[in-house]
Structure 1
Amino acid sequence: MEFSRMAEYAEEQKKRGRKADPHTMQRILLAFHPYPFRIILILLAILATTLLSLVNPFVIRLIFDVAFAKRDSTLLFYCVGVLIITPAISGVIGVGQTYFSNAVGQQVMYDFRDKLYAHLHRMSFRFFTSTRIGEIQSRLSNDISSAQNIVIDASTTIVTNVVMVLSTVIAMIFISPLLTLITLGLLPFILWTTHKVGKARRRNQMSIQQSIATLTAFLQETLSVSGILLIKTFGRQKFAQQQFQIENQRLTNLTIHRQMIGRWFFMLVSVIMAATPAIVYLVAGLQIIHGSRGIAGITLGGIVAFTTLQTRLYGPLTQLLGMQVEVQGALALFDRIFQYLDLPVEIQNKPDALDLSDEQVRGEIKFQNVSFTYKQEKSEALEQLFASKKEQPHPPVEAQIVNAAPRQTLHNLSFHIQPGQLAALVGPSGAGKTSITYLVPRIFDTDEGTVTIDGHDVKDLTLESLSNLVGMVTQETYLFHASIRDNLLYARPDAPEEEIIAAAKTAAIHERILELEEGYDTLVGERGYKLSGGEKQRLAIARVLLKDPRILILDEATSSLDSSSERLIQAALEPLMKSRTTLAIAHRLSTILAADLILVVDKGEIVESGTHQTLLQQGGLYKKLYQEQFANELDKKAI
């Protein structure tokens, strides 16, 4: 089963303790592969500016050793001209290099964002029920935003500085091998220490991003409309503030620690680099003072040129050392990004998946020996939140949740719905009714058995055609923070205005929309909070009616409606349900009485099936539920 691979992957990551992936750098470099022409231009620009920057030190030596010594003013003018023109040419090339570097870097980050977002949409619903949305948002926004500066800056800075260091060292050797050896004597120690500092920075950056993810998830939950309403109604503002302060302080401490990692080391490196020119002056100066060029083999102009090259060397070298540390931090960010990109896709199309059109589907639904279990998972962000707390409020309960064996939700289900039938699912809360409806459009996949539409296993159909065939009105009505029209058009973007109005009229919401100040252009607010529960549910029904699916799934579709609105919708749904197969979770008597087939679900099994009168005569669970839940409703209608 696909989910077992996801669980194995998660367990592998856990055993690894989230260690850095040694292949991360290779994968980052491969991301630049689609842009070879621009990269070649950047490399040529870097090479050109580097070679141009080597001109000035040798021109300076020529000024001191020839122009000054021979009092050649013509040569002096030429040399000064070169000193002025060379930086100008280099600057123009540098502007072009900056443009192409930023263009390539931003495009690479665009590719990462695009791939990650697309991959998240391929993840199963199970992934989103097990991971806090704030954690996902943090990977997609915070991690990539933090990494993009390193990619844009580091990609060119490293190449530029490496070329500059190598060319400078070659030029220094040409002037004086001895002084070059003195200059680079401590470089191996510096590089080794920098590597150690970089590894520490990488571990620290990983902890910082995990802390940011936890904070993002916490903010998303506590500052959303639903979250803030819950906090206010229970008076838990201080508790929320305390939890925020704990993680906020952790992030502050980690950030301070990041700034201080290797700070003493870089101070020592700065002192060494500042002292090295003095040693060069001492060694070369003694040779000149004693009138012997000796093993240093250098002139006064050579000293000036060499120290100029030294200055030109230490800048790039210092940047490389600092960049190496920053790159280690960036690799930690990419480790987190790749962790999500590497998550296996649980539900996906088969290579030879069948694409069914609406015209080809009659709407026959069959469950054959279907079993299904919700797997227990715990998100990374939740782990971090508990880890960040000094005291866990209920550790025994938390341990029970993590260690509890998953209970089978559905067990060996078999039933058959004919095309055009209305099948009602009835049963106590938690019996598995919603889980049954989720298996038809492959929101979840079965563990065992098959679910078929017109004889085709839903796993053999493309996800796109399956989503077109099935329309759902779920328990929780979700509306985007957009206009009413945009929310309706989400079902079918090309729907004409008359069909939008027709769907709204069928759902008994058209008149209410016209009463609003901006009509169909009214913004519904965050999660539709500007509308009542019944209004939101009627919009959701209008949206699925506009989609006009062959199979209709209603999960408490009229639970938030008053009796008048419910009667209007039920009357409008009747002719629509005759032309399509409908699977409805029944919470109202009207749905029960209209059903062609009633499936009684209890503890994940179909315990009874039949029509209303047949099931009443059997005197089983259905009759008990009817007497408890529906008989009172019938009495109220009679009154």
Structure 2
Amino acid sequence: MASTPTEGGRKGRAHTVTAAEKKQAAEVSLRRIGRLFAAHRLQLAVVTAIIVASSVIAMAAPFLLREVIDRALPRQDLTLLAWLVAGMVAVAAVTSALGVAQTWISTTVGQRVMHRLRTEVFAHLHRQSVAFFTRTRTGEVQSRITNDIGGMQSVVTSTATSIAANLTTAVATAVAMAALSWQLSLVSLVVLPPAIHLTRRVARMRREITARRQRELADLNVIVEEGLSISGVQLSKTMGTGPALVERFTASSTRLIDLELRSELAGRWRMAAMSIIFAAIPALIYLSAGLPATAGTLSIGTLVAFTGLQAGLFRPLMGLLGVGVSLTSSLALFARIFEYLDLPVEVDDPAEPVRLDRPVRGHLRFEDVTFAYPGSTTPAVAGVTLDVPAGTSLALVGATGSGKSTIAALIARLYDPSAGRITVDGIDIRDLRLADLAGIVGVVSQETYLLHTTVRENLRYARPDATDEQIEQAARAAHIHDLIADLPDGYDTVVGSRGHRFSGGEKQRIAIARTLLRDPRILVLDEATSALDTVTERAVQHAFDELSRGRTTVTIAHRLSTIRDADQIAVVAHGHILESGDHADLLSAGGHYATLAA
């Protein structure tokens, strides 16, 4: 991905287009865009047939008009006139009905393509590792799915049919014009070369502006996400940065206004000039018809029918040129979407996953595991070897930044080690399906995330098929049932954004109940009580004791009082295991642990 400017760099100026971004936009293949419609070939064939039929039927109208002017009216033939008028009405009715059918089918196809794009991008991003989301700006992902795909909607839903309709109409009109008078047809078509040239220049302008506009929309989305989330609002209010944030939003919105105007007005003067030229063509036709060389060779009916066709030719030609502009400018949107679809999946399901045919005991082993975060040359974990028998507990202690949380993240396979392996019951966790591993390993961290929905749905998120009785049982085990029952709507109470209506200890116990519903064999507690007061910590610890019973438990804690009863304690520093053993043995050894406990 191209690097993004810093906050300071974004403020007060537009995003600078990098060479990599220009190259990426240029490499979007029309063939790849066309493959989005491959599954709808039959529907598109039907639409094309409807368009061709409608265009051919519509071409009968000018010939009927010529007969009305040249034959029916001069001869006062009421029977012929009635048939001709009925034919004109029938042509209008049939083409209108075909137009409705064409719109219904083409819109259905377009919306299904949009649906596929949205779901593919969402599903692919959901497969990305945590590393992707840590290096991607908050709001950028949402902007790609909403703004970029939304901006493509008109192109996806109408481009194919617009091209077919306008092209068919233009060809049919040109044929009919040639049938009426090939000399006048040549006069009408002299504007095509300059029109095509101007259109290509306008398309290039709009493509560049569209790319810049979408990047600015992403910046605006980032500001909204960061500034109007509950955490962002609390931060801005306590830091007094509200006015600066509003100024930053205003500057981004102002740049967006300029880009929107430039996008809408790009090439409008050139296209307006083309409209004037097209409008002047009928005058040239009348002039040509009155010249001595052509005088008397064209009937009034032919001249009226021809000018009608010429006016009709203007619309599909301008439509084709307009579609070309829209398609070219939309390549910038497709480039941004394909960029996400082409992201490699760093942590993925194995090609041939190992099936768990027996109950999982939960024997956890680290075998010489090394891992460095992307972009870092210093390993966060180096040569870690640990053996945690099923049903026992391991406590990891050490200073902040020593690598404890990285070890926990590797157990849940949020990252993959660069060397060594982690096994559960002797099976490398990289050989398990991610869904299977998630059913084996449960994580409760310090930062508990609750969805903006009811307490019941937050608990059921871990196990969608859980009954109300099972949910209540898990809440009782987590010592949170009584508090939930006292809420205004009990388990149907909405928790608020990120669960901010609950205290830290209450959110932790809800998270414990949620984990209990999954019943994992391996439990990872990542500093889950470090931010709690002593009384709350005691209540949460009781819930942890219930949660840990009979499971393999890995606990990360700063307070040694919470882990002194662990079966095994490992001291971590700079990604290495310095020493391990139980509380008594480590104290008697007089090493690093004894220093921490002093």
TM bracket (short chain):
over 0.9
Residues 553 and 65 of structure 1: CA distance in aligned 2, closer, same or farther (over 3 Å): same
Query: SS in structure 1 opposite 2:367?
Result: strand
Query: SS in structure 2 opposite 1:35?
Result: helix
Distance 2:63 2:311 in 1: 14
Distance 1:82 1:140 in 2: 49
The residue aligned with 1:322 is: 322
Distance 1:572 1:538 in 2: 7
Q: Given that residues 149 and 337 in structure 2 are in contact (C-alpha distance below 8 angstroms), is that contact kept between their aligned partners in structure 1? A: yes
The residue aligned with 1:593 is: 564
Query: How much has 1:72 moved relative to structure 2?
Result: 2.6
Deviation track 1:482-508 (CA, whole Å, cap 9, x = no partner) reads 111110111111122222122112211
Match of 2:512 among 528, 541, 559: 541
Most deviating of 331-340 and 584-593: 584-593
1:361 partnered with 2:360: yes
Distance 1:319 1:364 in 2: 67
Most deviating of 265-274 and 187-196: 187-196
Match of 1:240 among 228, 240, 245: 245
Q: Given that residues 370 and 417 in structure 2 are in contact (C-alpha distance below 8 angstroms), is that contact kept between their aligned partners in structure 1? A: yes
Q: Given that residues 412 and 443 in structure 2 are in contact (C-alpha distance below 8 angstroms), is that contact kept between their aligned partners in structure 1? A: no
Q: How does 1:162-181 map to 2 (within 5 A)?
A: 162-181=167-186
Query: How much has 1:287 moved relative to structure 2?
Result: 4.8
Residues 444 and 14 of structure 1: CA distance in aligned 2, closer, same or farther (over 3 Å): farther
Query: How much has 1:217 moved relative to structure 2?
Result: 1.0
Distance 1:458 1:214 in 2: 38
Distance 2:591 2:263 in 1: 67
Deviation track 1:581-601 (CA, whole Å, cap 9, x = no partner) reads 111102333432220010110
Query: How much has 1:136 moved relative to structure 2?
Result: 0.2
Query: How much has 1:223 moved relative to structure 2?
Result: 0.4
Note the residue ranges of structure 1 that are not aligned, 5 or more in a row.
Answer: 1-5, 377-404, 628-639
Query: How much has 1:346 moved relative to structure 2?
Result: 0.9
AA aligned to 2:458 is N
The residue aligned with 2:272 is: 267
Deviation track 1:50-107 (CA, whole Å, cap 9, x = no partner) reads 1121011111112223223444332111111111121012111211211111111111
Query: How much has 1:453 moved relative to structure 2?
Result: 1.1
1:523 partnered with 2:494: yes
AA aligned to 1:436 is I
The residue aligned with 1:220 is: 225
Match of 1:443 among 414, 427, 449: 414
Deviation track 1:424-481 (CA, whole Å, cap 9, x = no partner) reads 0000001010100111121001111111111111111111111111110012100000
Query: SS in structure 2 opposite 1:109?
Result: helix
The residue aligned with 2:457 is: 486
Scaled by the length of structure 1, what TM-score is found? 0.88
Q: How does 1:243-392 map to 2 (within 5 A)?
A: 243-287=248-292, 290-291=295-296, 293=297, 298-356=298-356, 359-376=358-375
Distance 1:484 1:58 in 2: 71
Q: How does 1:607-622 map to 2 (within 5 A)?
A: 607-622=578-593
Distance 2:344 2:409 in 1: 21
The residue aligned with 1:401 is: none
Query: SS in structure 2 opposite 1:593?
Result: coil
AA aligned to 1:423 is L
Residues 534 and 569 of structure 1: CA distance in aligned 2, closer, same or farther (over 3 Å): closer
Query: SS in structure 2 opposite 1:476?
Result: coil
The residue aligned with 2:9 is: none
Query: How much has 1:536 moved relative to structure 2?
Result: 0.6
Distance 2:467 2:330 in 1: 49
The residue aligned with 1:160 is: 165
Distance 1:482 1:18 in 2: 43
Residues 502 and 558 of structure 1: CA distance in aligned 2, closer, same or farther (over 3 Å): farther
Query: SS in structure 1 opposite 2:39?
Result: coil
Distance 2:44 2:590 in 1: 77
Query: SS in structure 1 opposite 2:464?
Result: coil
1:583 partnered with 2:554: yes
Distance 2:449 2:505 in 1: 12
Q: How does 1:460-499 map to 2 (within 5 A)?
A: 460-499=431-470
Query: How much has 1:140 moved relative to structure 2?
Result: 0.5
Distance 1:95 1:436 in 2: 61
Distance 1:111 1:495 in 2: 30
Q: Given that residues 64 and 84 in structure 2 are in contact (C-alpha distance below 8 angstroms), is that contact kept between their aligned partners in structure 1? A: yes
Most deviating of 248-257 and 119-128: 248-257
Q: Given that residues 24 and 334 in structure 1 are in contact (C-alpha distance below 8 angstroms), is that contact kept between their aligned partners in structure 2? A: no
Q: Given that residues 130 and 414 in structure 2 are in contact (C-alpha distance below 8 angstroms), is that contact kept between their aligned partners in structure 1? A: yes
AA aligned to 1:353 is P
1:83 partnered with 2:81: no
Query: How much has 1:363 moved relative to structure 2?
Result: 0.9
The residue aligned with 1:420 is: 391
AA aligned to 1:407 is T
Q: Given that residues 477 and 546 in structure 2 are in contact (C-alpha distance below 8 angstroms), is that contact kept between their aligned partners in structure 1? A: no
Residues 136 and 238 of structure 1: CA distance in aligned 2, closer, same or farther (over 3 Å): same
Query: How much has 1:522 moved relative to structure 2?
Result: 0.8
Query: How much has 1:238 moved relative to structure 2?
Result: 1.1
Q: Given that residues 491 and 547 in structure 1 are in contact (C-alpha distance below 8 angstroms), is that contact kept between their aligned partners in structure 2? A: yes
Q: How does 1:394-433 map to 2 (within 5 A)?
A: 406-433=377-404
Query: How much has 1:289 moved relative to structure 2?
Result: 7.4
Distance 1:16 1:509 in 2: 51
Residues 16 and 231 of structure 1: CA distance in aligned 2, closer, same or farther (over 3 Å): closer
Q: Given that residues 366 and 385 in structure 2 are in contact (C-alpha distance below 8 angstroms), is that contact kept between their aligned partners in structure 1? A: yes
Note the residue ranges of structure 2 that are not aligned, 5 or more in a row.
Answer: 4-17
Distance 1:351 1:257 in 2: 49
The residue aligned with 2:55 is: 50
Distance 1:168 1:523 in 2: 62
AA aligned to 2:529 is T
AA aligned to 2:413 is R
Distance 1:31 1:309 in 2: 35
Query: How much has 1:290 moved relative to structure 2?
Result: 4.2
Distance 2:276 2:327 in 1: 24
Distance 1:559 1:499 in 2: 29
AA aligned to 2:422 is V
Query: SS in structure 2 opposite 1:587?
Result: coil
Distance 1:561 1:47 in 2: 72
Query: SS in structure 2 opposite 1:52?
Result: helix
Q: Given that residues 564 and 583 in structure 2 are in contact (C-alpha distance below 8 angstroms), is that contact kept between their aligned partners in structure 1? A: yes
Residues 290 and 571 of structure 1: CA distance in aligned 2, closer, same or farther (over 3 Å): closer
Q: Given that residues 200 and 325 in structure 2 are in contact (C-alpha distance below 8 angstroms), is that contact kept between their aligned partners in structure 1? A: yes
Using the aligned pairs only, state the percent identity: 43
The residue aligned with 2:137 is: 132
1:567 partnered with 2:538: yes
Scaled by the length of structure 2, what TM-score is found? 0.94
AA aligned to 2:168 is V
Residues 74 and 571 of structure 1: CA distance in aligned 2, closer, same or farther (over 3 Å): closer
The residue aligned with 2:6 is: none
The residue aligned with 2:597 is: 626
Q: Given that residues 421 and 578 in structure 1 are in contact (C-alpha distance below 8 angstroms), is that contact kept between their aligned partners in structure 2? A: no
Query: SS in structure 1 opposite 2:190?
Result: coil
Distance 1:561 1:475 in 2: 9
Distance 1:22 1:374 in 2: 31
Give the alignment's Cα RMSD to 1 decimal.
1.9
